Amino acid sequence: MVNIVEVEYSRTGASSKINNMGMREMKEKAYQARDAQYLLLKAPPASGKSRALMFIALDKLIYQGIKK
């Protein structure tokens, strides 16, 4: 069978760097959009989507005053 789709990702190592809060690039981008009413995270498996949403949920509970 012929492979009709070939995908190559650049490997710069940027996704493994963390900021001062312990967040990687994808989590930091999601956290910057934490004020949005709706948020869709698209990332590969095991990239930290659940943990990113935990950071956002804690921010909404503590700093944004949202109770539910």
> If you average pLDDT over residues 21-42, what whole number do you get?
86
CA distance 52 to 24: 9
Q: Locate all alpha helices (DSSP H) within 2-66, ordered by sequence.
A: 25-32, 49-62
Q: Which of 14-18, 22-26, 44-48, 49-53: highest mean pLDDT?
A: 49-53
Q: 9 near 3, Cβ under 8 Å?
A: no
Note the pTM of the prediction, 2 decimals.
0.61
Residue 3, pLDDT > 70, answer: yes
Sorting pLDDT into bands at 50, 70 and 90, what band is 15?
low
Residue 53, pLDDT > 70, answer: yes
Q: How many residues in the chain?
A: 68
Domain boundaries of the chain, sorted by first residue = 23-62
